[in-house]
Amino acid sequence: MPPKRVFKPIRPNTNTNSSSIQPPGPAHIQPDLSQQPEQPPPPILLEELESLLNQTHPEHDTKPDISHINTQENNKAPLFKTSSPEPPPQAQKNLPAPNINLKKPPKNPLINPAKKPSSRPKHQPESNVDNETWLSKRLTDPVKTVEDKWQLLPAFLKVKGLVKQHIDSFNYFVDVDLKAILRANATVISDVDPNFHLSYLDINVGEPSRLDTGSATNKRITPHECRLRDITYSAPISVTIQYTKGNKRVLSKGIPIGRIPIMLRSNKCVLTGKSDAELAKMTECPLDPGGYFVVKGTEKVILVQEQLSKNRILIETDSRKGTIMASVTSSTHERKSKTYVVTKNSKIYLKHNSIQEEIPIAIALKAYGITSDREVVQIVCGNNDDYRAAFSICMEHCHEAGVFTQKQALAYIGKSVKIIKKGPVAGPKRPLTEEALEVLSTVVLAHVPADNLNLQPKAIYLAVMARRVVQAMANPKLVDDRDYVGNKRLELAGQLLSLLFEDLFKKFNTDLKLNIDKVLKKPNRTTEFDAINQFRMHADHISNGFIRAISTGNWSIKRFKMERAGITHVLSRLSYISALGMMTRISSQFEKTRKVSGPRALQPSQWGMLCPSDTPEGEACGLVKNLALMTHITTDTDEEPIWNVAYTIGCEDISSVTGTELYLPRHYIVFINGNILGLTRSPERFVEVFRQFRRAGKISEFVSIYMNADQQTVNIATDGGRICRPMIIVSRGDSMVKTHHIEKLKAGQMSFDDFLSQGLIEYLDCNEENDSFIALYEEDIDGYTTHLEIEPFTLLGAVAGLIPYPHHNQSPRNTYQCAMGKQAIGVIAYNQLHRIDTLLYLMVYPHHPMVRTKTIELVGYDKLPAGQNATVAVMSYSGYDIEDALILNKASLDRGFGRCQVFRKATAMIKRYPNGTYDRIADPPRDAEGQVLEKWKPCDDGGVADVGMKVYNGNVYINKQSPSNANDNSVGSGAATVTSWSNTPMTYRGTVPSYIDKVMVTDTESDQTLVKVLLRQTRRPELGDKFSSRHGQKGVCGLIVQQEDMPFNDRGTCPDIIMNPHGFPSRMTVGKMLELLSGKAGVLRGTVEYGTAFGGSKAVEMSKILIEHGYSYLGKDYLTSGITGQPLEHYVFMGPIYYQKLKHMVLDKMHARARGPRAVLTRQPTEGRSRDGGLRLGEMERDCLIAHGASQLLLERLMLSSDSFELDVCQDCGFMGYNGWCVRCKNGNSVTKITIPYACKLLFQELMAMNIAPRLVLEDAIK
């Protein structure tokens, strides 16, 4: 590779005018780096630009405003292609030159002609960027080290955040979607009174507030208070309305129509924009990412939903039927429908749900107004003879049907196709041609506009679909992949809430209209009708709709017949990383029980967009995915500015194009969000100029554009739900991001948004990535490269990013760690000791990992860790370490290793009953000597346990009592008299005693008293507790050994954990070995080492550090046996590894039963630990007992100890008797008793109910 030439700037002569600077020679013109960017993008010629932008489109009379392109604030001087070294006259006019990259620049760009002469004396050297250095590098050098570029990641997360897509989506819903839905449903008209007219003018969402009647002074509420008091963190929705009252129009502002739950950290949340100190005052954790809701005190997340993209043509094939199908799902605010173009017997048909029969494609095109046969063939096949031959059979089909004109085509559709009518139709019956025309114009291809019955856009769209089918018939490789990420869209909280609100608001308006009609029907009203009273009556409808949907997770949209379950989940607070992982989870609507590999497979298009490791095991494998670290999900962008830009830079309106031109070479159809916008005759130039507009910040950075050569299309996408990620732009084989940019970023002079606005970085979605040539590292850049990855390790998600050296592990091990990392006990938030959660696990002494990754620092895991650094010796020790069991050092456990606390919540509600009675908390009962009875010992005089009291199994900690007549429905003038009280105490159930950690007494929004008690247990590791390293190497504690019996090295260090070496060969977790090596070196040197994916501390360097400190370079130590005192025969691999204690503890699973409750129906022992159930002897266990021949044990287990039952049987007829009497034989002479399982008797009775008569023939009764 030839060495790069370094250009040094020439200092201009200060005595001459800048326009007459003579360069040293035409072949050695050097750029002035102090006034312009180091390597600006290649320019467009000014003459070309002016001619391009002076063009006006026939439909757009005005020229676009281009004065803002490349203004002086960008400090980018224009470059001109000219044969003479003199700048052209345009430069002196200071014409704005856009930063548009179309042509290759000359090798030696001219000196900046606009540069003023320097007033510096000759002897003083000019201060130039190139002369300054930073970290021993010149500031114009390309970024060469990982350390430089990595600074962009925290900057990105500061702007976007791991949960920013949820927050952006909710903000878009509140700021934009709400107003759009209001405009679409802005009027309510009465059927009774034609003079009544109500219109909505504006809608607004207020601040989160409390609904308590007694707190009028401070209405503002915090999420922490909502969690504690079991209320919903919501804000009022108010509207401005104008309506008729009598004979005048009334304008009313701030009319409440309901409340909406507010997403934490959104722009309506009280936490937004607060400093860490202010958040601490509100008892909130600064590291909490937000993006979830608090509904009835529970934290709920709306999971990201994966859907197929709307309004896009997808080609699919059915190999069994041998058919090819083009489908498009049209989605507008009015309706959702699906249109198909399918093949059947080599003919092509149009198919739609609203039409019962399939329509031949040629007839459909004629019905859309393309009447000439030649035009039909031209608009579908172009000049391709193969396509024409394949399509000719469709034309023959049309001729056989006798359809030649549009009227005949509509008549054919009207006659031979039955239109499916929705509901009763009033008025006279319309002609069939009108019915057909209405369906074709409004329902079929609903997303393509047909303004004033102009059907040409629909005709062209249908022709394009038919052409795609013909192409797929000729070339099967052109079939689309449903699982390709570019064909998917992600629905976020904003879109789902938008659908829900639209449905609730329409229902609200319908109910409002019915009530208004009911009132206006009464002619003898005494007062004037006021619409505001009706609003108050229906205010709860929208609030309850939101709360019901988020609480249950069931989205039911009747208008679109949409029924979805499992949209929301309770936010997992097992650890900080489990909450974070849940926020980035993507849930697929695909049926989990179907065993198909396609949707579950790892797609190449998921690179950098979705995490390859973080997916659950089992039936959801591959269907539940997680976002990668730097992905962003787009929100909707307005299309109109994009139309203007597209028409300006060479897109011709589709209405002015003939069928002949559509498929000519280098004639590409321009689509915007699936709709045809026009045609371009120079697609590469069109795409390049469009991208330069985006890089200059003139259109949204999330708009994507890409070409498809097979289909001859240019696709522009502005819709929401696309996954995209940032890339560094590469220009002329050099990265645009330089060292001085990173220095400014570190100094706080630049943010990530500045990198975007200056055209150094851009977002690419999945489709545009396919149109780019991306280098992983700087050394991979060549002449074709268009983009550079910011960091390769960002292809992993937030959870998989915690694993050190994941690229040295076998793939499934990383997947296992992703599941177990979420179950690790650690620290959940800074406010964890102020929370009262249902179940909370906390590590008493959490550690920072000694071997970190960059992701750990980015997501804040080092501030809220979940694990401890343990000294691990890899060796066999007794037989208690087989099958991944671990040997633990008792002294380490005494010092706090693996110690955790478990908090459980108990809640008692003091209810008020309809008859006026209410519950109470009574004083504990006492014995004759005045002492509190043993069972009530923990309670104080108020009937609630004191903080710090120890409670044992069976102890009462809230002495609640309910009135005996609570259910009496006596409604009188006053409250019913309580005659007696029944005890309904809260009693502690648990094998191990707990301590009362907190007691809280408060009231809910409905003014009912709420008592919450937090119970605490401190647990140390014991046999059977589960541990795991960060490499999927899980194991349970097999033995706890005294420190005296543990082996020790020559410095007296004993390991905390002994691990069996047989866990390595088959698992191939080399990353764990490297973690031990790096951790050991870091401990000796006093530094934190890095095991970041595709990088990190190198094993060679770690070995050098070990040698420097007197250790073996292999990480092995000389150990002495603690039992015999003899040296061990071999060196032992020993060092620190970060171990996680998982939530699976033997104390929570330990269960046995001698006797207990039985199920009512089967009379067998109940199932489950919580019900004090029995242990099931299953089919496999039964087989073992049969193989052993232990028949009496089988009898004892399956009948005697389970559900033995004495049954009366008649020996004559074999039927069951009752109480010594046979109903069938009408006597009791032959009735005898036998013992059978009760479930068997139940089976016989069920068979008899089905007319099957089982007869019991007793052996000793056979004559």
Q: Identify the CATH number of the domain in which residue 1244 sits.
A: 3.90.1800.10
Tokens standing for 352?
A: 């739609």
With a cut of 60, say whether residue 814 has pLDDT above it.
yes
- 1090-1111 pLDDT, tens digit per residue, is 999 998 899 999 999 999 999 9
Clarify whether residues 935 and 893 are in a common domain. no
Integer Cα distance of 726 and 765 in angstroms: 9
Q: Evaluate whether 651 touches 679 at the Cβ level (below 8 Å).
A: yes
Clarify whether residues 436 and 318 are in a common domain. yes
What is the model's pLDDT at position 844? 96
Clarify whether residues 1014 and 1028 are in a common domain. no
Instruction: Pick the closest to residue 503 from 532, 542, 550, 447 (CA basis).
Output: 542
Catalytic residue selected from 517, 884, 1003, 1045: 884
What is the model's pLDDT at position 33? 38
Residue 1116 β-bridge partners: 1133
Clarify whether residues 888 and 938 are in a common domain. no
Q: What is the mean pLDDT of residues 135-139?
A: 45
Integer Cα distance of 531 and 257 in angstroms: 12
Clarify whether residues 989 and 1030 are in a common domain. no
With a cut of 50, say whether residue 41 has pLDDT above it.
no
- 664-677 pLDDT, tens digit per residue, is 888 999 999 999 99
Q: What is the mean pLDDT of residues 626-652?
A: 91
Tokens standing for 1229?
A: 């002479």
Q: What is the mean pLDDT of residues 82-99?
A: 38
What is the model's pLDDT at position 141? 52
CB hemisphere CA count around 973 (13 angstroms):
0
Which residue range(s) make up the domain with 1249? 1179-1261
Integer Cα distance of 280 and 277 in angstroms: 5
List C-alpha distances in Å: 710 to 72, 378, 478, 508: 41, 18, 8, 49
With a cut of 80, say whether residue 98 has pLDDT above it.
no
Residues belonging to the chain: 1263
Q: Evaluate whether 800 touches 617 at the Cβ level (below 8 Å).
A: no
Q: Which residues contact 396 (CB under 8 A, 6 or more apart)?
A: none
What is the CB neighbour count within 10 angstroms for residue 844? 15
What is the model's pLDDT at position 573? 94
With a cut of 60, say whether residue 106 has pLDDT above it.
no
Instruction: Let me know if residue 134 belongs to a domain.
Output: no
Q: How confident is the model at residue 965 (pLDDT cuts 50, 70, 90)?
A: confident
Instruction: Let me know if residue 1256 belongs to a domain.
Output: yes
The CATH number linked to 1010 is: 2.40.50.150
Q: What is the mean pLDDT of residues 787-814?
A: 94
Q: How confident is the model at residue 391 (pLDDT cuts 50, 70, 90)?
A: confident
CB hemisphere CA count around 88 (13 angstroms):
12
What is the model's pLDDT at position 1000? 95
Q: What is the mean pLDDT of residues 243-263?
A: 87
With a cut of 80, say whether residue 765 has pLDDT above it.
yes
Q: How confident is the model at residue 116 (pLDDT cuts 50, 70, 90)?
A: very low
Total count of domains within the chain? 6
Integer Cα distance of 92 and 104 in angstroms: 24
With a cut of 80, say whether residue 84 has pLDDT above it.
no
The last residue of one of the domains, among 424, 446, 468, is: 446
Instruction: Let me know if residue 571 belongs to a domain.
Output: no
Tokens standing for 142?
A: 């390309």
With a cut of 50, say whether residue 564 has pLDDT above it.
yes
Using alpha carbons only, how large is the chain's radius of gyration in Å? 38
CB hemisphere CA count around 279 (13 angstroms):
19
Clarify whether residues 83 and 69 are in a common domain. yes
Integer Cα distance of 506 and 517 in angstroms: 16
With a cut of 70, say whether residue 21 has pLDDT above it.
no
What is the model's pLDDT at position 454? 85
Integer Cα distance of 1218 and 1244 in angstroms: 14
More confident residue, 654 or 857: 857
The answer to whether 1203 is a known catalytic residue is: no
Q: Evaluate whether 259 touches 542 at the Cβ level (below 8 Å).
A: yes
Clarify whether residues 878 and 928 are in a common domain. no
Instruction: Pick the closest to residue 762 from 125, 101, 222, 259 (CA basis).
Output: 101
With a cut of 90, say whether residue 166 has pLDDT above it.
yes
Collapsed DSSP state (helix, strand, coil) of residue 1222: strand
With a cut of 60, say whether residue 43 has pLDDT above it.
no
With a cut of 50, say whether residue 91 has pLDDT above it.
no
Q: How confident is the model at residue 584 (pLDDT cuts 50, 70, 90)?
A: very high
Q: What is residue 40's DSSP assignment?
A: P
Burial of 103 (0-12, 13-18, 19+ CB in 10 A): middle
Q: Evaluate whether 1165 touches 1153 at the Cβ level (below 8 Å).
A: yes
The last residue of one of the domains, among 544, 578, 607, is: 544
Q: How confident is the model at residue 1172 (pLDDT cuts 50, 70, 90)?
A: confident
With a cut of 50, say whether residue 180 has pLDDT above it.
yes
Tokens standing for 478?
A: 């052109």
With a cut of 50, say whether residue 736 has pLDDT above it.
yes
Instruction: Let me know if residue 1137 belongs to a domain.
Output: yes
With a cut of 90, say whether residue 706 has pLDDT above it.
yes
- 299-351 pLDDT, tens digit per residue, is 999 999 999 999 999 999 988 888 899 999 998 877 888 899 999 888 899 98
Q: What is the mean pLDDT of residues 213-231?
A: 80
Region of residue 91 (phi > 0: left; psi between -120 and 50: alpha; otherwise: beta): alpha
- 883-918 pLDDT, tens digit per residue, is 999 999 999 999 999 999 999 999 999 988 887 888
Clarify whether residues 1011 and 915 are in a common domain. yes
Integer Cα distance of 943 and 1013 in angstroms: 12
Report which listed range, 14-23, 107-116, 597-606, is most confident.
597-606
Clarify whether residues 260 and 343 are in a common domain. no
Integer Cα distance of 786 and 807 in angstroms: 26
Integer Cα distance of 964 and 615 in angstroms: 53
Q: Evaluate whether 1241 touches 1207 at the Cβ level (below 8 Å).
A: yes
- 444-469 pLDDT, tens digit per residue, is 898 898 888 888 889 999 999 999 99
With a cut of 60, say whether residue 113 has pLDDT above it.
no
Integer Cα distance of 972 and 1022 in angstroms: 61
Q: How confident is the model at residue 976 (pLDDT cuts 50, 70, 90)?
A: low
What H or E segment, with its residue span, contains residue 1209?
strand 1204-1210
Clarify whether residues 887 and 914 are in a common domain. no
Clarify whether residues 266 and 319 are in a common domain. no
Q: Evaluate whether 1013 touches 1090 at the Cβ level (below 8 Å).
A: no
Burial of 1014 (0-12, 13-18, 19+ CB in 10 A): buried
Q: How confident is the model at residue 975 (pLDDT cuts 50, 70, 90)?
A: low
Q: How many helices (H) and strands (E) does the chain have?
A: 33, 54
Instruction: Let me know if residue 628 belongs to a domain.
Output: no
What is the model's pLDDT at position 93? 36
Instruction: Let me know if residue 43 belongs to a domain.
Output: yes
List C-alpha distances in Å: 240 to 200, 535, 850: 6, 12, 59
Tokens standing for 130?
A: 């190139």
Residue 1132 β-bridge partners: 1117
Sheet with 359-360: list strands edge to edge.
314-318, 323-331, 336-344, 347-352, 359-360
With a cut of 80, say whether residue 1074 has pLDDT above it.
yes
Q: How confident is the model at residue 1051 (pLDDT cuts 50, 70, 90)?
A: very high
Q: Evaluate whether 147 touches 791 at the Cβ level (below 8 Å).
A: no
Roughly what angle, to the nearest 10 degrees, separates helices 811-821 and 576-583? 110
With a cut of 50, say whether residue 53 has pLDDT above it.
no
Sheet with 187-189: list strands edge to edge.
187-189, 197-205, 234-245, 248-261
Q: How confident is the model at residue 432 (pLDDT cuts 50, 70, 90)?
A: confident
Q: Evaluate whether 361 touches 348 at the Cβ level (below 8 Å).
A: yes
Q: Evaluate whether 921 touches 942 at the Cβ level (below 8 Å).
A: yes
Minimum mean pLDDT range among 155-159, 173-177, 506-510, 1012-1016: 155-159
Q: How confident is the model at residue 420 (pLDDT cuts 50, 70, 90)?
A: low
Minimum mean pLDDT range among 252-261, 789-798, 961-970: 961-970
With a cut of 70, say whether residue 146 has pLDDT above it.
no
Tokens standing for 160?
A: 């976007």
Clarify whether residues 327 and 258 are in a common domain. no
- Amino acid present at 36: Q
In 883-1030, the DSSP E strands lie at 886-889, 900-910, 920-921, 950-951, 956-958, 960-963, 981-983, 986-987, 994-1003, 1009-1019, 1026-1029
Integer Cα distance of 963 and 981 in angstroms: 5
Q: What is the mean pLDDT of residues 268-291?
A: 93
Tokens standing for 1202?
A: 């389970």
With a cut of 70, say whether residue 542 has pLDDT above it.
yes
Roughly what angle, to the nearest 10 degrees, separates helices 456-474 and 373-381? 60
Instruction: Let me know if residue 303 belongs to a domain.
Output: no
Q: What percent of the chain has pLDDT over 90?
A: 53
What is the model's pLDDT at position 972? 53
What is the model's pLDDT at position 216? 52
Integer Cα distance of 55 and 650 in angstroms: 9
What is the model's pLDDT at position 658? 75
Q: What is the mean pLDDT of residues 779-804?
A: 93
Collapsed DSSP state (helix, strand, coil) of residue 1055: coil
Instruction: Let me know if residue 1047 belongs to a domain.
Output: yes
What is the CB neighbour count within 10 angstroms for residue 807? 17
pTM, whole model, 2 decimals?
Answer: 0.84
Residue 148 β-bridge partners: none
Residue-wise DSSP of 425-458 = --SSPPPHHHHHHHIIIIITTTTS--GGG--HHH
The CATH number linked to 380 is: 3.90.1110.10
Q: Is the dihedral of CA 186, 189, 195, 198 positive or negative?
A: negative
What is the model's pLDDT at position 79? 33
With a cut of 90, say whether residue 1195 has pLDDT above it.
yes
Distance from CA of residue 1167 to its chain's centroid?
36
The last residue of one of the domains, among 446, 473, 508, is: 446
Strands 839-843 and 359-360 come out as unpaired
